[in-house]
Structure 1
Amino acid sequence: MAGPFPPLQNDLPSSLAAATLTDDNRMIVLVIAAVAIAALVVAVVLVRQVLAAGEGTDKMKSIAAAVQEGANAYLARQLRTLGVFAVVVFFLLMLLPADDWSQRAGRSVFFLIGALFSAATGYIGMWLAVRSNVRVAAAAREATPAEGAPPKDLTDVSHRAMKIAFRTGGVVGMFTVGLGLLGASCVVLVYAADAPKVLEGFGLGAALIAMFMRVGGGIFTKAADVGADLVGKVEQGIPEDDPRNAATIADNVGDNVGDCAGMAADLFESYAVTLVAALILGKVAFGDVGLAFPLLVPAIGVVTAMIGIFAVAPRRADRSGMTAINRGFFISAVISLVLVGIAVFAYLPSSYGDLTGVTDPGILGHAGDPRVLALVAVGIGIVLAALIQQLTGYFTETTRRPVRDIGKTSLTGPATVVLAGISIGLESAVYSAVLIGLGVYGAFLLGGSSVMLALFAVALAGTGLLTTVGVIVAMDTFGPVSDNAQGIAEMSGDVEGAGAQVLTDLDAVGNTTKAITKGIAIATAVLAAAALFGSYRDAIASAVADVNARAGELGLSLDISQPNNLVGLVLGASVVFLFSGLAINAVSRSAGSVVFEVRRQFREHPGIMDYSEKPEYGRVVDICTKDALRELATPGLLAVLAPIVVGFTLGVGALGSYLAGAIGTGTLMAVFLANSGGAWDNAKKLVEDGHHGGKGSEAHAATVIGDTVGDPFKDTAGPAINPLLKVMNLVALLIAPAVVQFSYGDNASTGIRVLIAVLALTVIVGAVYVSKRRGIAVGDEGNDGTAESVSSASDAATVS
């Protein structure tokens, strides 16, 4: 994409104006909306099935109630905080350029709707997960019958527990695809040809809330998890979810607010943002049908997700729970591809010349069949999801060589465990990036000489990957539900023997599914970002035509040989590193506070160890809540304001390069963090299952330390990069007309550009400075040999 943008300006606006929503297309979109509503109805049916299961003993119920209370309290406080931020962005969006006030108002209103849907998806995922976990534990408890009762079939018990956990995820999956598709359909029905502009707001609302929920929830869950492991397992030598550990309730709360609520919101915004990009590009590339076809593909995915979720029914011949999950995933993927093929040949014309509403001669004269382009592009997305699923599973499953190799290194200490995990993460990132790159490039080649068709093919590959999202979300939620079930069982002491082993096996499968879904989420982020990158390119072209910008302006070029663009590329890569560092450092500070609080309780209340005193669980929950809400602001401000600084300082060409740098670096960084963390976690499970000395051995302590390093990698920084990329792309897309107007138009104003850039940079620098100035949880050994925390969070956490 070298050279100035103005050569595009004559064709693009007329193409945008030509596309309309015909009566036939309107009927199709109405049917798609009905499919979305059907997904919500199926979700309600699954909720009833999950809640119909037994909840176990009174002790198990009381522990589950504590987790529910903590999760609800945290998420309510977080949403109140984010509500204020959403209102501010609502009014700021009204100030950005648009064709008319109805577009501005619609963009702002649907920003709030996107934010609300994203928050609702996350909240619903958390709400059901904290009720399902005790039911999974109760189902596993049946493996150990009461004295005198006949023994239960262990396989049947395991299958029942797994089905409850996976159908809990199915509820979240149905809400994700249902709300995402419903929101996009409503925008298209109301705004027709103007829908893509309004959908920018919808996507931004979903992405912003998802990023904050991902960062905040990730900080909460990993601060509690790291603190609980370091003091409980390593220092006190007690099991992971031992009730004597004051951080156990916070750890279980964190699993839900981080993995369930955060990941559900993350995948929802991936769904929304990919649809935004596909509709923006589809309107230009395919004209009238481009306003409906990008919705038709994920609508098929909704139907096949229902099939896939119910297809996850474990069989006796299955080697493990992953076999059943893989079967459901691949059944869903294959049926999706077949149904998309039928829809493509039934709905699309056989030549580009027959596409109504398209005026670009490069597209109308393009040789080939649009049906082939659409089917192959969607197929690339579906195949990419399957390949990422298998590749990630290879690097994170306990039965595969990479995890077993890390387990072996535990015999030589924690340093080699950490080194082996980093090595595997770095290596796997390359393979994943190559797969994603091949997918993007393969879709791009379908466009031939037309860049617009090529970009639309990339967006269609993203919608193809979306056909598997319903099952992917179910796989992800399965992980924390299984983890929490094991925690409740261990804390209550009411699930022993075979039942405890059932939960251990489910937890190991859950670790793998979480890693797989993170890998696929990264792929959706890259495809969405690549498609949005094309949308950004065309937003500039349209803005250039509107303000009569000069064709020779260097700031309008994406030529990477220009120094300003090269600087933008480097800055984009740098922001990913800074964002990741801020997130990991936030976990480190908060985890340090948890460590000191748990140590204090063991020191001041020695009766905790013999069960004569009860830990103060509420204090740790409070520390994690305060720190998470405090720490999420800085990464969020960086994501929103950094593109503004680059755009208004270096120009739209440099801003495009900035996005390219962030996409490339973010892809590698996210996969590295997710896979290394997942491999460390399952290496710990491997040792706990009896390998290399088992629990309590030096090898076990080494893998626990590796796991604590990997926790913020895989559950905080890594997953948060996905919404980071999409937030930055959407912000760039929204500000591009303003940057062109104030930088290159007839009414260009250097003063306004400088003012906006300086204000944004000042906020970023101030936020990072404040973050770095916060107390770091380190200990100063006093004369009595006891450690005192200098963390402000520990000092502040004085209430239960």
Structure 2
Amino acid sequence: MTGTLPAVVAPELEGGNLVLVVVVALIALGALGMAAMFRSQVLAAGEGTDNMKTIAQAVQEGADAYLQRQFRTLAIFAGIAFFALLALPADDMAIRIFRSVFFIVGAGFSAAVGYLGMSLAVRANLRVAAAAETEGRERAMNIGLRTGATVGMLTVGLGLLGASIVVLLFQDEAPTVLEGFGFGAALLAMFMRVGGGIFTKAADVGADLVGKVEQNIPEDDPRNAATIADNVGDNVGDCAGMAADLFESYAVTLVAALILGSQAFGDKGLVYPLLIPAIGALTAVLGVYITTPKAGVSGLTTINRGFYLSAAIGAVASVVLSFVYLPTDFADLTGVGASVLDQISAETPDGNPALIASVAVVIGIILAAAILALTGYFTGTEFRPVKDVGKTSLTGPATVILSGLSVGFESAVYTTIVLGAAVFGAFLLGTGSLTISLFAVALAGCGLLTTVGSIVAMDTFGPVSDNAQGVAEMSGDVSENGAQILTDLDAVGNTTKAITKGIAIATAVLAATALFGSYASTGLDQLQESNADSSELLSLFVFDPSVLVGILLGSAVVFLFSGLAINAVARAAGAVVMEVRRQFREIPGIMEGTGRPEYGKVVDIVTRDSLRELVTPGVLAVMAPIAVGFGLGFSALAGFLAGAIGTGTLMAVFLANAGGAWDNAKKLVEDGHHGGKGSEAHAATVIGDTVGDPFKDTAGPAINPLIKVMNLVSLLIASAVVSLSVGDDENDVLRIVIALVAAAIIVGVVYMSKQRESSITDEAPAAPVGPTV
């Protein structure tokens, strides 16, 4: 493509395209209706004994109290971001205002998915426990799956509804308004993921170290003061946090696809990315009914079969839709203007738009299936990696930790190769146009979105089954057969949680790559308007030292973010350990069952510490791109994003799979291998699991929204960065002041975080007392 390029023409919707967007909005409302129906089915199940109800009530109250305090804290950040968005450039003031308004809408939807999912999960746990005792495995599993289906349909419904309403209301300006919607969803999800992750793992680590290792009592023994906090944490972290995380992945992927689609496919590019997830909403409902537990069929087999069947049906339906809706020649697309990105393209795009879109979507669906299989291999108890980690428990905790680290490192390589193949395969579909290539990457993300309903259902099943086992054990009202059913379901849930973390990472990479392209397009368009030589910039892009500096800084932020999150868990867990030790020492009759632990004190500790600790990683994610962009310029910020995406992908997979391998190695030993519960091997795997807990449930999952938040912040400030970089010295002064203020804020919050004192003292743990297990 050579010569003078026409300006990008923002498409307007009319006729059939407008009707289709309305249909998408109606499908979104239908998904929300299905969520309400599934919720009523869960709540209609029996609640079990009075003891079960009492324990579940304590968990419900703790989870509600935590999330309400968290939302009050996050409201401050949301208010600041609302007004900051108003200051950023847009075509007119109305668009600025609505971008900020939909920032609040995106944050609200993300919070709603997390809160509603959590509120049902804490009511489903005792119903699953009761069903396991009175109605059998199939009924108990079905209640857990319906709970997950409710959260899945909420995620799909609200994501589609928000995006379709923006497209209906703003049409040609929808991509700009959607930036605010996606940013709100991503920012709140990151805070919820970090805060919930710190809460759940501080309680879990503290409970395991004192209960299992020091006192040699079971995981959910009511004598352990941290058990209620641990069960609360499963819900605020794995339910609320993960649901919000997957919702923002859904929203951000749609944002990137619609921004690039309007440039690549014109008016159809504003509609097609909505149609594919709408198909996903329909196939998700089908997947719920396909996933029916049957006697003699393992739970994991049932869940995987439902996922693969619904994914395959979604792939076929997406291909049919592509050829029905899209033309087979680029000349037949209307409302398309050439992006400045295409100045480096060698030729005018040719090929078949319908075929390009079909293949891109199918690549995303295949990627989801591949990640499911790959993550399952490295974290499943039936495969060699976890079995090898379990064997090393015979030689102590050091070898357990070493073998788990090796699993994490190795799995990150293979997963990254699969992700890279998917991204590059989609990129090659562009037929000479960078805009179309990047749109194809975004469409691969949309293809992966067709599986999100099933993915969220699989993820929520994990904490629900885990909590059900906890409720049963703490109540003492479940027989040996019922307890075994719940143990089996917990093992299945443990694997599904690990698998969904892998798929969440895949959505983050595809969304971030597409957002990266959107950032480049926005910034280069601004450079062209400022009469800067963007072609020269692109020709030197890779060789510019500022790009290398940006890559190093982007990678460094991922490491710092992970370190802050893990250290926050360590500090909070230390406080839990000291409190639980104190209660064992000072409250008479705990081990004999005649004294009642003070559960509320542990809940208060982890609530306070998690809300305090989530501020630092959150500020880092928002302020780092601002400091780099305004301080070092447009190209350095591009390098920063590239470094964050690459390092973030490897780090997230490493942390998630190492943690998952340690967790399931512990489950393997608890099932009777290598000496079983109470053995030295068991103690070794418990220590490995406590190391892996903040890996897989705090730092690892939080990297997903981290890289998307940084990409969205960069996209939002791209025009301002370029406009302040091109001009007189006054602009340079303002630009440097902004960068210094952002850097000072980062230094300040990190310094304050380091000054917080740990509750850990030199007190030695008490020797185990009472009966052993």
**TM-score, normalised relative to structure 1:** 0.93
Out of 308, 326, 331, the residue aligned to residue 330 of structure 1 is: 308
Is 1:596 the counterpart of 2:574 in the alignment? no
Map Cα deviations across residues 161-211 of structure 1 (whole Å, 9 max, x no partner).
111011101000000010000000000000001100100000000000000
Is 1:101 the counterpart of 2:101 in the alignment? no
Map Cα deviations across residues 733-759 of structure 1 (whole Å, 9 max, x no partner).
000100111111468611101110111
Aligned residue for 2:770? none
Provide the C-alpha distance between the structure 2 equivalents of 1:167 and 1:128, rounded to a whole number of angstroms.
10
Is 1:253 the counterpart of 2:232 in the alignment? yes
Aligned residue for 1:508? 491
Compared with structure 1, are the counterparts of its residues 541 and 706 closer, same or farther at alpha carbon in structure 2 (3 Å cutoff)?
Answer: same
Aligned residue for 2:40? 48
For residue 251 of structure 1, what is the amino acid of its counterpart?
Answer: D
Asked if the contact 1:455–1:531 (Cα under 8 Å) also holds between the matched residues in 2, the reply is yes
Out of 499, 513, 517, the residue aligned to residue 500 of structure 2 is: 517
How far the C-alpha of 1:550 sits from its partner, in A, is 5.1
Provide the C-alpha distance between the structure 2 equivalents of 1:367 and 1:612, rounded to a whole number of angstroms.
78
Map Cα deviations across residues 71-90 of structure 1 (whole Å, 9 max, x no partner).
00000000011111101110
How far the C-alpha of 1:22 sits from its partner, in A, is 2.0
Is 1:308 the counterpart of 2:291 in the alignment? no
Compared with structure 1, are the counterparts of its residues 748 and 358 closer, same or farther at alpha carbon in structure 2 (3 Å cutoff)?
Answer: farther
Aligned residue for 1:430? 413
Provide the C-alpha distance between the structure 2 equivalents of 1:114 and 1:740, rounded to a whole number of angstroms.
27
Is 1:15 the counterpart of 2:8 in the alignment? yes
Secondary structure, in 3 states, of the residue corresponding to 2:183?
Answer: helix
Aligned residue for 1:298? 277
Is 1:130 the counterpart of 2:122 in the alignment? yes
For residue 47 of structure 1, what is the amino acid of its counterpart?
Answer: R
Is 1:728 the counterpart of 2:696 in the alignment? no
For residue 776 of structure 1, what is the amino acid of its counterpart?
Answer: S
Secondary structure, in 3 states, of the residue corresponding to 1:608?
Answer: coil
Unaligned runs of 5+ in 1: 1-6, 144-156, 788-800
Q: Give the percent of matched residue pairs that are identical in Structure 1 and Structure 2.
A: 68
Unaligned runs of 5+ in 2: 768-773
Map Cα deviations across residues 115-164 of structure 1 (whole Å, 9 max, x no partner).
00000000011000000000000011127xxxxxxxxxxxxx11111110
Out of 514, 520, 524, the residue aligned to residue 537 of structure 1 is: 520
How far the C-alpha of 1:97 sits from its partner, in A, is 0.5
Aligned residue for 2:669? 687
Aligned residue for 1:79? 71
Please show how residues 252-291 of structure 1 align to structure 2 within 5 Å.
252-291=231-270
Compared with structure 1, are the counterparts of its residues 233 and 172 closer, same or farther at alpha carbon in structure 2 (3 Å cutoff)?
Answer: same
Provide the C-alpha distance between the structure 1 equivalents of 2:523 and 2:581, rounded to a whole number of angstroms.
57
Aligned residue for 1:625? 607
Asked if the contact 1:550–1:745 (Cα under 8 Å) also holds between the matched residues in 2, the reply is no
Provide the C-alpha distance between the structure 1 equivalents of 2:177 and 2:70, rounded to a whole number of angstroms.
27
How far the C-alpha of 1:692 sits from its partner, in A, is 0.8
How far the C-alpha of 1:250 sits from its partner, in A, is 0.2
How far the C-alpha of 1:574 sits from its partner, in A, is 0.5
How far the C-alpha of 1:553 sits from its partner, in A, is 7.8
Provide the C-alpha distance between the structure 2 equivalents of 1:290 and 1:786, rounded to a whole number of angstroms.
65
Provide the C-alpha distance between the structure 1 equivalents of 2:183 and 2:437, rounded to a whole number of angstroms.
24
How far the C-alpha of 1:11 sits from its partner, in A, is 3.4
Map Cα deviations across residues 419-458 of structure 1 (whole Å, 9 max, x no partner).
1111001111101000000000000001121111110100
Please show how residues 376-775 of structure 1 align to structure 2 within 5 Å.
376-549=359-532, 551=534, 559-745=541-727, 749-775=731-757
Asked if the contact 1:8–1:541 (Cα under 8 Å) also holds between the matched residues in 2, the reply is no
Out of 314, 332, 336, the residue aligned to residue 354 of structure 1 is: 332
Higher mean C-alpha deviation, range 617-626 or range 307-316? 307-316
Provide the C-alpha distance between the structure 2 equivalents of 1:366 and 1:98, rounded to a whole number of angstroms.
29
Asked if the contact 1:558–1:657 (Cα under 8 Å) also holds between the matched residues in 2, the reply is no
Secondary structure, in 3 states, of the residue corresponding to 1:615?
Answer: coil
Provide the C-alpha distance between the structure 2 equivalents of 1:10 and 1:112, rounded to a whole number of angstroms.
40
Compared with structure 1, are the counterparts of its residues 678 and 374 closer, same or farther at alpha carbon in structure 2 (3 Å cutoff)?
Answer: same
Asked if the contact 2:351–2:431 (Cα under 8 Å) also holds between the matched residues in 1, the reply is no
Provide the C-alpha distance between the structure 1 equivalents of 2:3 and 2:145, rounded to a whole number of angstroms.
50
Secondary structure, in 3 states, of the residue corresponding to 2:541?
Answer: coil
Is 1:207 the counterpart of 2:200 in the alignment? no
Provide the C-alpha distance between the structure 1 equivalents of 2:105 and 2:528, rounded to a whole number of angstroms.
31
Provide the C-alpha distance between the structure 2 equivalents of 1:634 and 1:8, rounded to a whole number of angstroms.
47
For residue 514 of structure 1, what is the amino acid of its counterpart?
Answer: K
Aligned residue for 2:25? 33
How far the C-alpha of 1:106 sits from its partner, in A, is 1.1
Aligned residue for 2:771? none
Map Cα deviations across residues 396-431 of structure 1 (whole Å, 9 max, x no partner).
111111111111111111111111111001111101
For residue 218 of structure 2, what is the amino acid of its counterpart?
Answer: P
Provide the C-alpha distance between the structure 1 equivalents of 2:439 and 2:323, rounded to a whole number of angstroms.
18
For residue 649 of structure 1, what is the amino acid of its counterpart?
Answer: G
Map Cα deviations across residues 448-477 of structure 1 (whole Å, 9 max, x no partner).
211111101000000000000000000000
Secondary structure, in 3 states, of the residue corresponding to 2:430?
Answer: coil
Provide the C-alpha distance between the structure 2 equivalents of 1:570 and 1:777, rounded to a whole number of angstroms.
35
How far the C-alpha of 1:551 sits from its partner, in A, is 4.9
For residue 665 of structure 2, what is the amino acid of its counterpart?
Answer: A
**TM-score, normalised relative to structure 2:** 0.97
Provide the C-alpha distance between the structure 1 equivalents of 2:288 and 2:625, rounded to a whole number of angstroms.
39
Provide the C-alpha distance between the structure 1 equivalents of 2:411 and 2:751, rounded to a whole number of angstroms.
34
Question: How many residues end up aligned between the 2 structures?
Answer: 762
Secondary structure, in 3 states, of the residue corresponding to 1:216?
Answer: helix
For residue 338 of structure 2, what is the amino acid of its counterpart?
Answer: D
How far the C-alpha of 1:605 sits from its partner, in A, is 1.3
Secondary structure, in 3 states, of the residue corresponding to 2:762?
Answer: strand
Secondary structure, in 3 states, of the residue corresponding to 1:313?
Answer: coil
Provide the C-alpha distance between the structure 1 equivalents of 2:273 and 2:128, rounded to a whole number of angstroms.
38
Provide the C-alpha distance between the structure 1 equivalents of 2:56 and 2:86, rounded to a whole number of angstroms.
44
Aligned residue for 1:69? 61
For residue 248 of structure 1, what is the amino acid of its counterpart?
Answer: T
Compared with structure 1, are the counterparts of its residues 456 and 635 closer, same or farther at alpha carbon in structure 2 (3 Å cutoff)?
Answer: same
